[in-house]
Structure 1
Amino acid sequence: MLLPTSNSRCSCPGRQTAPTTRREMLAASASGFGLVALAGLIGKNAIAGPADAAASKLPKPHFAPRAKNVIFCFMDGGVSHVDSFDPKPKLTELDNKPFTESKNPTANGNRLWLGSPWKFSQHGQSGMPISSLFPHIATCADELAVVRSMKADLPIHSTGVLFLHTGSNNAGRPSLGSWVNYGLGSENENLPGFVVLSFGVVPCGGMETYSAGFLPANQQATLFA
């Protein structure tokens, strides 16, 4: 504990000393802070052998990772693919026409086809089709990789969301983030490698959406509400 100090050498009985200033406190305790940090480093080195031995027993990927990090923006209820990067000419042709046939037993024949109201044009050397909703993203067309082959024959949103994150419509499979965390790990041993900004909302696929599945529990997501 730091005691009050005084600039005066007077030691008269009953004299009240001035309170310690912030500058004096830092000057008096600077060496103490350094010793605390040094003790932490020495303690870490003292147990480095057993810790490294334990870490070496953890399963590793069968290939060297090339990516440094992954930011996955899952926009539940966001812009439709047919309005952004996946034009459907046939859908535009059928716009406002009766929806007579469906593989979905819950659909009826009174519905109408609805084409995208946004115009598509090709951009970049790749000729990537991008809608007029994203004029600025269109300037980066050659830096994008758009996957249009992924689909799910699941009429229910919850199972579709689970399938998107885990590759399966059944619970128990690791989330995409868990796989990335398994392959890349965390740059800081005191911070999680897989973080989800959920804003307090549970996805319609349930918490299994961010589960580690059969991977070690430390690969599971850390939720920030």
Structure 2
Amino acid sequence: MRDPLQEHRHLVSRRHFFKSTGLAAGRIALAGLMLPEALKAATSAPKTAAHAHPPLPGLPHFAPKAKRLIYLFMNGGPSQIDLLDYKPGLPKMFDTDLPDSIRMGQRLTTMTSGQSRFPIAPSKYQFKQHGKSGIWFSELLSHTAQVADELAVIKSVQTEAINHDPAVTFIQTGRQIPGNPSLGSWLSYGLGSECDNLPAFVVMTPSWSAKRDAQALYQRLWSSGFLQTKHSGVSLRAKGDPVLYINDPPGVDKQTRRDMLDALAKLNEHEYKQVGDPEINTRIAQYEMAFQMQSSVPELTDIKGESQATLDLYGPEVTIPGTFSHSCLMARRMAERGVRCIEIFHREWDHHGDLTRDLPLQCRDVDHACMGLIKDLKSRGMLDETLVVWGGEFGRTVYCQGKLTPEDYGRDHHPRCFTMWMAGGGIKGGTVYGETDDFSYNVVQDPVHISEINATILHCLGIDHRKLTFKFQGLDQRLTGVEERKVVTGVLA
């Protein structure tokens, strides 16, 4: 009787032999045809420092304006009407029905599709113009308004998804269906890391002040999908060890851990020679990264060296781990150390009711810290090479969900228009792009699809979104999909 394990190894080795030799022959032939172009690309590519996790050959495609991304994601769908999309004519229309000519039979969620009326709920918050640019901000964003001239406010963002899970998955991965790499994973894959002792992609999920449960977050939102697992985001935790198992177990000292990893690497290298699975090399690299992080993460999270003036920029909660303010400070510290992509998911912006109670609490969490992050980056000369993005997965309706009173209202999901802002590397500050109708219900000027937001992010980091691809299931997959998408040049410096 044959040994099943030996038979498996024989089959894998045979497949690996034919695959590798066939590809090698193809590479030799292709190299002969493309040698002049290859030499040209090699001599024109920008020089990069040698790192354990380098960029793909030929990347960036052109000189980047930003080296890294900090993405402030407001999970749940912040209300653009109450924050950044000022509609001064709505108070006169309080409690009148949204005209059919505006709604035009557009898709509704099951939460409001059964309503007999769609009563208009004007924002109860005051708006003012700020900065030399005169951008309108709600009183709930009074701190963010102080950096108005650093921001490009995009008021005409659109998506097709109307419910949270597909909508968040869509803007994070370029597909509504799970299983694709996240934006941060694509950046890690394409541009590599400038740091050898911290991951290329780090995620934080701070607490929120609104006293209710929030929409669930899934690790697949920062997963590498069909890319190698080394490109997945690493979650920096608020409680306990910042990264799981960052400390050695009792009785294991640093040298013992080093010896164990070296021995394990030899075993993995032997296995790789047997089966040729690239995930084995990923495993070796990740074990080594974990070892390096045992020193780098404690240093990263120790903020004792920060000046009081810097701490004050981020607000009174900056010294409390797990708050949005503390996460923003951590984002700046990671950016300094070469982390490629830092994403902060702040939850509970899903205000179907009690909006006037919960929205101010959410804004209090993030408003001061957003201003502080922009000012801190700028004071250190880092803003010009750091792209900062703020936004959620969709917007909110102008009409009220449920009971409407002058004191309180709720809003349903609205994918047809919502507002995001960008700042920093590659962005023209003091800009307003796009426009919505008088009800903040339809885009009337310069629509921007969420895939075009992602195309613009990649562009600022020196990537042509059409050329960053990975062959999977017979297709050249990319973050922005197969549809024709454009970079939003109107917000670029």
Match of 1:170 in 2: 177
Shift of 1:183: 4.6
Change (3 A) 1:195 1:110: same
Answer whether contact 2:98 2:118 (CA < 8 A) is retained. Answer: yes
Match of 2:153 in 1: 146
Paired positions, count: 174
Change (3 A) 1:221 1:57: closer
CA distance in 2, matches of 1:121, 1:57: 44
Match of 2:73 in 1: 74
What letter corresponds to residue 175 of structure 1 in structure 2? S
Answer whether contact 2:51 2:196 (CA < 8 A) is retained. Answer: no
Out of 200, 203, 219, which is 1:207 matched to?
219
TM-score in terms of structure 1 length? 0.62
| Unaligned segments of structure 1, at least 5 residues | 1-51
| Match status 1:224 vs 2:223 | no
Change (3 A) 1:175 1:94: farther
Answer whether contact 1:158 1:206 (CA < 8 A) is retained. Answer: no
Answer whether contact 1:203 1:209 (CA < 8 A) is retained. Answer: no
Shift of 1:79: 4.2
Match of 2:138 in 1: 131
CA distance in 1, matches of 2:121, 2:130: 25
Change (3 A) 1:203 1:67: farther
CA distance in 1, matches of 2:235, 2:214: 10
TM-score in terms of structure 2 length? 0.31
Report SS of the residue matched to 2:195: coil
Q: Which has the higher helix share?
A: 2
CA distance in 2, matches of 1:98, 1:57: 54
Larger Rg: 1
What letter corresponds to residue 85 of structure 1 in structure 2? L
Shift of 1:68: 2.9
CA distance in 2, matches of 1:79, 1:57: 35
Report SS of the residue matched to 1:181: helix
Q: Which has the higher strand share?
A: 2
CA distance in 1, matches of 2:194, 2:136: 37
More displaced 10-residue stretch of structure 1: 68-77 or 97-106: 97-106
Match of 1:112 in 2: 119
Match of 1:88 in 2: 87
CA distance in 2, matches of 1:70, 1:144: 15
CA distance in 2, matches of 1:217, 1:132: 43
Shift of 1:120: 1.8
CA RMSD of aligned residues (A): 3.3
Answer whether contact 2:76 2:164 (CA < 8 A) is retained. Answer: no
Answer whether contact 2:51 2:195 (CA < 8 A) is retained. Answer: no
What letter corresponds to residue 190 of structure 1 in structure 2? N
Map 1:171-190 → 2, pairs under 5 A: 171-190=178-197
Shift of 1:82: 1.7
Deviations 1:95-133 (Å, cap 9, x if unpaired)?
Answer: 322357553263122342212111222222222111122
